[in-house]
Amino acid sequence: MHIFFGGQDELQAELDELEELEADELLSDMPATSAKKKVVEKETEVPDIEVPTHKVAAKKKTEDDELAELEAMIG
């Protein structure tokens, strides 16, 4: 048999408080860090590379090309 002396809101408030205390305890157990210790890494320089602007026409496959491809796959 369960007897509730408080409403749902009071239970939720108590649960929230316990979770906050647990979170504070976890945070206090963590080692302290300093923002001054952070080292900013030097930016990586990427060289400029020229990219071709023209389109290369693709060779159209012929029946002979397809046959050769199939034969290469088989044997």
**pLDDT, tens digit, 9 for 90 and up, residues 11-30:** 899 999 999 989 888 888 77
The confidence score (pLDDT) of residue 48 equals 82
pLDDT tens-digit profile of 35-61? 555 555 566 777 788 877 777 777 777
Task: Work out the pLDDT band at 8, boundaries 50, 70, 90.
Answer: confident
CA 53 to chain centre: 34
Distance CA 64, CA 53 (A): 32
Query: How far is 1 from 4, CA to CA, in rounded Å?
Result: 10
